[in-house]
Amino acid sequence: MMSFEELGVSDEILFAISELGFEQPMPVQEAVIPYLLGNGNDVVALAQTGTGKTAAFGIPLIQRVDVKKRFPQALVLAPTRELCLQIADDIKSYSKYVQRLKVLAVYGGSSIESQMKSLKSGVQIIVATPGRLLDLMNRKTVKMENIHNVVLDEADEMLNMGFEESLNNILAEVPAERNMMMFSATMSAEIAEIAKKYLNNAKEIVIGAKNEGTKNVKHIYYMVHAKDKYLALKRIADYYPKIYAIIFCRTRRETQEIADMLIKDGYNADSLHGDLSQAQRDAVMQKFRIRHLQLLVATDVAARGLDVDDLTHVINYGLPDDIESYTHRSGRTGRAGKTGTSIAIINMRERGKLREIEKVIAKEFSCGTLPSGRQICEKQLIKVIDDVERVLVNEEEIEAFLPSIYRKLEWLSKEDLIKRVVSIEFNRFLEYYRDADVIDVPTEKTAAKECKKAKRGESDSAKKSRSAAPGFTRLFLNFGKADGFYANHVIELINRNMKGAKPCVGKIDLLREFSFFEVAEEDADSVIKALNKSFANGRRVVVEVASENTGKSDNSGKKDGRKNKKRVKDNSEDFAPKKKRKSGKKNDWQRFFEGEFSEPDNSLWVKKSKKRRK
C-alpha cells in the first residue's frame, strides 16, 4: 500500500491530515488522488458512503487551487444541505495549513445575502446544492468561467431528487476544458447518461462491486405482524443498550409518530424530517452528533448525506420504495473500516421487496429471532454493572460526604447494597418484560388473513392522511411523479405564478399521476386562481380543493378535459377491481392513495411508469 506522500500530496495537506488521524490511504483515495492531480482527467467513481471519498476528491481540489487568485476555481455539488456543510468542513480541515485558501458552503435555508457577501470577498472552492447555486448564478453573483474542477458527489441522489435540469443548467456554464469527477454509490442508467454527456474519456473506478452494499455491514431482518413493528423496534433497542442508530421510516407522519412514542416510553430519541425548519434540523443533528441522542428517527430525504461517525445500527422500520435507497441507508453504518448492522423490520407482504434488495446489493439477509424479555433483562443488567465498574470517582470531592453516606447505609449488607444500586436502572426493564407477550412470527396463513382484513376498509392513518393540518387547505394538482414533478417543482410552480408575498406551503404528497399540497387557508383561493392560469410541461395546470371524503379533487381534474380523465383511468389499471361499479362510488385504488405517502423521492413506481411510457 502506498503512503499519502507517495500519492503526491503536498506537505501542508499531509500535516493537516496526519493531525486528523490519516495514516494510510483508503482504496478509493489510493485509486483517485494521483489521477485527479493530473490535467484533463475525468473520473466516475463508484464507492459507498464511508469509504473516504471526500478526501479522495477534496485533497486534489485543494492542491490544484491557485490561492493567489481570489475567484472560484473548484466546484463541488451535493444533493442536501447537510452533506454540503459536511464536505465544506472536511475540505477546510484538510486545508488547515494552506494559507489564503477560502472554502464556502452555499445552500438553501440560510441567508442568501450572507452567501453573496462571502462570494464577493473572494473564495476559491464552492461547495453547493444545485438549487441555491443556480439562484446565485441567475443573480450574477457567482460566475463559472474560471471553474476548472467540478465534483458531483452522490450524483445518483441528485438525480433521484429531481435536480437533473438544474445540473444541466449549471454544467452548461462551466468551461469545456475542466476536470470532471462524479462520485456515486450506484451506477444507474441516468448516471451513465450524465457521464456520457459531460465527461471526456472518463476513467471508471469501482471500489467493491457495482451497486454492492458496504462489506462491513451485516444485514438482518425480523419478520413480524404489521401491528407488532413498534414492539419489535423496542426489543431491538433494549437488547443493544449502547445502540447508536438511525431508524428510517417511509413518511414524515410515521417518522414523527415513532419518535414521539419512543420519547414517551423513555428512549433518548428525536425525529428528523421535511416538516422541520432548517434550524430545528440543525439542532437535532447537533444533539445526535455529540451523542445526546441514541436514536434518530428519520425519513430518507432528511437523512440523505448525513455523515455520523460510529453508528452501530441502521434500522429500517419500513423498507424504501426505491431499492437503491437501501444502499444509502445501510451505508450510514460500517464506515471507515468499522463494522455495523443494518436491520429490517418487515411483515409478510414485504418479503418480495427484501429479496429484490438482496439481488441489488449482492448480499443475503440473515433471519433474526427477536430477543426474549429474559435475554433483554440480562443484557441491561450487564450494562448497569459495566457502568458501575467504569464510573469515575472524584476522591477529593466525595470525601467530605462519605461519613454521612456510611451512616445512612450501614444497616445494609454488601449484597443488599449491590442489589439496590443495580435495581435503580434495572427495575424498569424487569417490570416491563415480566409480563410481556411473546411476539408471534407470522406465517403464510396469518398473512393471508391480514391481507383480507386490510382490503375490507381504510385504516385510521389513511383517513387522517387526507385531512389538512389545522389552518391549512389541502389542494389537488394534476401533475405527479410520472410528469417529473417533485416537491421542489411544486414549490417552484407556486412561487413562479404568485405575485407579491409567497404563500405558506405545508405538507406535499407526491403520487404517480397527481399530487396534493397544503397551503394556508387564507392563501388557498389566490393560489388556485393563479395556478389555474399557468402551464407546465406544455399542459395546463389544474388545482382544486381536495375532497375530504376521497382525498382527490372534487372534480377529479375535469377542467383538464379528456386528457386528464384518460390519465386517471390509466393510473387505476394497477389497483381497480375487475368488476364494474356504479359511478360515484370510491374504489380500492382511490382508498389506497388516501393512505400513508412516502417522502418525495424517486420510487419504483416512477421507474415502472417511465418504462410503460416508453
Q: What is the mean pLDDT of residues 548-556?
A: 48
C-alpha count within 13 angstroms, C-beta hemisphere, residue 26: 21
C-alpha count within 13 angstroms, C-beta hemisphere, residue 270: 18
Domain ranges of the chain: 11-206, 217-370, 374-434, 460-613
Which pLDDT band holds residue 317 (cuts at 50, 70, 90)? very high
Strands 103-106 and 125-128, bridge-based pairing: parallel
Q: What is the mean pLDDT of residues 461-488?
A: 77
pLDDT at position 102 over 90: yes
pLDDT at position 548 over 60: no
Cα distance between residue 281 and residue 271, in whole Å: 9
Backbone angles phi, psi at 512, to 5 degrees: -70, -50
pLDDT of residue 570: 33
Q: What is the fold of 460-613?
A: Alpha-Beta Plaits (3.30.70)
In this structure, CATH architecture of domain 11-206: 3-Layer(aba) Sandwich (3.40)
Which pLDDT band holds residue 559 (cuts at 50, 70, 90)? very low
Which has more pLDDT, 231 or 157? 231
- The cell numbers describing 172, all together, are 452548461
Per the CB < 8 A criterion, the answer to whether 317 and 291 are in contact is no
Provide the phi-psi class of 508: left if phi over 0, else alpha when psi is between -120 and 50, else beta: beta
- The cell numbers describing 139, all together, are 443573480
pLDDT of residue 576: 35
pLDDT of residue 533: 87
Cα distance between residue 152 and residue 505, in whole Å: 30
Which has more pLDDT, 482 or 149? 149
Which pLDDT band holds residue 498 (cuts at 50, 70, 90)? confident
Task: Specify the DSSP class assigned to residue 247.
Answer: E
Tell whether the torsion through CA atoms of 528, 531, 536 and 539 is positive or negative.
positive
User: What percent of the chain has a predicted confidence (pLDDT) above 70?
Assistant: 80
Among the residue ranges 185-189, 510-514, 541-545, 607-611, the one predicted with the least confidence is 607-611
C-alpha closest to that of 75 among 167, 188, 190: 167
List, in sequence order, every residue forming a beta bridge with 132; answer none if it has no partner.
none
List, in sequence order, every residue forming a beta bridge with 43; answer none if it has no partner.
181, 203
Burial class of 111 by CB neighbour count within 10 A (0 to 12, 13 to 18, 19+): exposed
Among the residue ranges 19-28, 338-347, 424-433, 463-472, the one predicted with the least confidence is 463-472
Per the CB < 8 A criterion, the answer to whether 104 and 124 are in contact is no
pLDDT of residue 477: 93
Cα distance between residue 459 and residue 127, in whole Å: 44
List, in sequence order, every residue forming a beta bridge with 106; answer none if it has no partner.
128
Exposure string for 153-190, b = 16+ CB within 10 A, e = fewer: bbbbbbbbbbbbebbeebbeebeeebbbbbbbbbbbeb
Which pLDDT band holds residue 341 (cuts at 50, 70, 90)? very high
Q: Please, what CATH class does the domain formed by 217-370 belong to?
A: alpha beta
Which has more pLDDT, 408 or 186? 408
Strands 217-223 and 366-367, bridge-based pairing: parallel
Q: How many CB atoms lie within 10 A of CB 593?
A: 23
Mean pLDDT of the chain: 79
Which has more pLDDT, 110 or 270? 270
How would DSSP label each residue in 466-504?
TSPPTTEEEEEES--GGGT--HHHHHHHHHHH--SSPPP
Burial class of 124 by CB neighbour count within 10 A (0 to 12, 13 to 18, 19+): buried
- The cell numbers describing 384, all together, are 448497569
Q: Is 497 helix (H, G, I), strand (E, B) or coil?
A: helix
Q: What torsion, rounded to 10 degrees, do the Cα atoms 321, 326, 327, 329 define?
A: 130
Crossing angle (nearest 10°) for helices 11-19 and 53-64: 150
Q: What torsion, rounded to 10 degrees, do the Cα atoms 170, 171, 177, 182 define?
A: 120
List, in sequence order, every residue forming a beta bridge with 515; answer none if it has no partner.
477, 510
Per the CB < 8 A criterion, the answer to whether 152 and 181 are in contact is yes
Cα distance between residue 331 and residue 467, in whole Å: 36
Per the CB < 8 A criterion, the answer to whether 183 and 154 are in contact is yes
pLDDT of residue 581: 42
Q: Is 320 helix (H, G, I), strand (E, B) or coil?
A: coil
**Does this chain's domain 11-206 share its CATH topology with 460-613?**
no
List, in sequence order, every residue forming a beta bridge with 544; answer none if it has no partner.
476
pLDDT of residue 592: 38
pLDDT at position 269 over 90: yes
- The cell numbers describing 239, all together, are 437488547
Q: Is 226 helix (H, G, I), strand (E, B) or coil?
A: helix
Among the residue ranges 50-64, 112-126, 266-280, 497-511, the one predicted with the least confidence is 497-511
pLDDT of residue 487: 79
Per the CB < 8 A criterion, the answer to whether 153 and 76 are in contact is yes
pLDDT at position 452 over 70: no
Cα distance between residue 107 and residue 431, in whole Å: 49
H helix or E strand, kind and range, residue 297: strand 295-299
Strands 539-540 and 535-536, bridge-based pairing: antiparallel
Q: What is the mean pLDDT of residues 26-36?
A: 85
Provide the phi-psi class of 566: left if phi over 0, else alpha when psi is between -120 and 50, else beta: alpha
Chain position carrying cell 457495482: 210
pLDDT at position 482 over 70: yes
